[in-house]
Structure 1
């Protein structure tokens, strides 16, 4: 996943950000003018896009509600996207995994400072944390897995030996079903640890697969059952589920939107089973908005647990900082003229999926572009939304 985000520091993106800053007037506007502006903006954006079938946007901020849906569910049949069409969240799912771990910590069933070996047998950790000839498996903590500082490699995008790269396997063998054990084994057999635990930040989907296995070991229930029991059910997220492992409450379930991975549409591939606890959740804009708002108002975690998740002490990329399963956008790092924009908290996914909030003004933003090729466009759109909100007379962001 990390290579996808290198575009954030490219000169091309900085030009796009500068373009956004200068082309938008600071003149106050009404809520209706804001909605009309965003409708026009997103219609043009989708029309100009490549390797993207549809677009969903949902924004709520102090009485301002905005929803935009356009395009097709599938390039194959051209059916129109419904306002609440399910989509693949990608790495936004890591927030859900982190919330489950923090809930278990609140219940006293584990501590995030516990060693990994307290929950998974040593054989499950063989050759995952060997760095320069020394095995550091016994030093790894759950907090390090949550914050990507454990040293374990990333099966999805890290260099490999003795095998094609994982993303190549995903596309070239669409019928393969990947179990969590097989995902961990891929790192064990084909990759090397990236450092001594606790000494450096390195984004790792493998680490989140291990967290999913810990959740199962502690609760005695499947990862998907935990999602439904602790989050989907209580919050009435009735269209949400873990792809390949569970079903939504609402039936019959709707077709998910196209998923474009590096130019290939993969929404029907069995190999998408590779996400699991690292980001295999299917949801809708409405459900994801519910989750984000309930997380913010204390219905999922205590305030101290959420503060711990938001200890953004590591830099994911320029402009993006990481805590424990949560990201913070610092627009001013993209370009100095964006200094006045608020810092948003949430997460992104490789498919240009966004879930962000600005708690100070109760602002929440959900977007799904459904394509790895749309990452720059999606951040340009995020800036457009925030700039527009700042100009609405009745909204203070």
Structure 2
């Protein structure tokens, strides 16, 4: 038994194609982050693999590591440059694009959505009792629109399981939200997480730019200019040349690798990225490297105000969540397929992790503790 466990540990440590980036001497000699992910894969039976990236300019750390496999019951084969579906972290990119359009005076986030949505979409919302005149772009961004989340419909998941190859459209998903849910309250009064709100934001972006959402995100955020060369919209854009296949995405133990990516494509999700690329975007965004005006970032991070205490369920701002870990304020978002991206402003550091199969959110907590200790040395 001891020999077999030791063999697993050796596979985990040495079965990963490493790409260390710009590491300081501490990481080259004795890397606590690699030790952390190795231990999680060995001790947590639900986690088949982990890719992690640490970006901390003040500590001269830009490091990617991995442990384990990209598929359950597979030999350790993860690569540090292996892409994965970031799922709902796409919402941070969509919110960024909306705020960039606001900087260009092409919209106001306090405008009614009626000014930008198609007559068809507006009509569908009104027919089900939604007060579209009161639903603002801001309320879509911070999930206070009261619009039912199509992804929470049992019908949606049953349909996906019954026909995994079905190519979904934004209209179909909106129809499901209208047919299988109802308004969740008055706009701007309660928080209810809603992918439906973000597919509507995707439609708004397309209506203003005249381009696909994929092209709009790429152009508005400036993927090429910013060096985001390993980030793309799955199915809509081609995978970059020589890029490995994506990590298998799991939900409740089921592998959705072969399921058509349109199940999560139109603004609530859809992007594929690597840990270094995702960390680079977060680091750039929250150190004011994306917006033209500093006030735009302040708008993104302003606390959502509601007339009741339901906002305490999640501290969700505009496309980003905020929490406190080890006494540090943390800006973060999670994706359903196993991804977490977190920026810690006081440490000017970003931690991105992608799990094969099961989450272990403690990895962010422990990574922040390691960064804190390294800062004190």
TM-score of the superposed pair, with normalisation by structure 1: 0.80
Indicate the residue corresponding to 1:390 in structure 2: 372
Q: Which moved more, 1:185-194 or 1:51-60?
A: 51-60
Residue 297 (str. 1) matches residue 287 (str. 2): yes
Give how far 1:313 is off: 2.6
Residue 44 (str. 1) matches residue 39 (str. 2): yes
Q: Summarize deviations over 1:164-198 as a string: whole Å, max 9, x none.
A: 43233323321111111111111112211101111
Q: Summarize deviations over 1:278-318 as a string: whole Å, max 9, x none.
A: 11100001111221122123231122111111113368986
Indicate the residue corresponding to 2:9 in structure 1: none
Give how far 1:77 is off: 6.0
Distance in 1 of aligned mates of 2:320 and 2:90: 10
Q: Which moved more, 1:317-326 or 1:98-107?
A: 317-326
**Tell me, which stretches of 5 or more residues in structure 2 are unaligned?**
1-24
Distance in 2 of aligned mates of 1:323 and 1:393: 29
Distance in 2 of aligned mates of 1:68 and 1:346: 20
- Give the CA RMSD over aligned residues: 2.5
Matching residue within 122, 137, 146 for 1:142? 137
Distance in 2 of aligned mates of 1:365 and 1:316: 29
Q: Summarize deviations over 1:54-85 as a string: whole Å, max 9, x none.
A: 21111122224243211223347647111111
Matching residue within 243, 258, 268 for 2:248? 258
Q: Which moved more, 1:270-279 or 1:233-242?
A: 270-279
Indicate the residue corresponding to 1:322 in structure 2: 316
Indicate the residue corresponding to 1:365 in structure 2: 351
Indicate the residue corresponding to 1:207 in structure 2: 197
Give how far 1:130 is off: 6.7
Q: Which moved more, 1:317-326 or 1:51-60?
A: 317-326
TM-score of the superposed pair, with normalisation by structure 2: 0.84
Give how far 1:99 is off: 0.5
Alignment of 1:1-397 (within 5 A): 31-32=26-27, 35-61=30-56, 62-65=58-61, 66-75=63-72, 78=75, 80-128=77-125, 134-157=129-152, 160=153, 164-231=154-221, 232-248=223-239, 250-270=240-260, 272-301=262-291, 302-313=293-304, 320-331=314-325, 340-371=326-357, 373-374=358-359, 377-378=360-361, 380-394=362-376
Matched residues, number? 346
DSSP 3-state at the match of 2:229: coil
Over 3 Å counting, the alpha-carbon distance change for 1:152 and 1:135 in structure 2 is: closer
Give how far 1:224 is off: 0.5
DSSP 3-state at the match of 2:151: coil
**Tell me, which stretches of 5 or more residues in structure 1 are unaligned?**
1-29, 332-339
Contact 1:129 1:152 in 2 (8 A): no
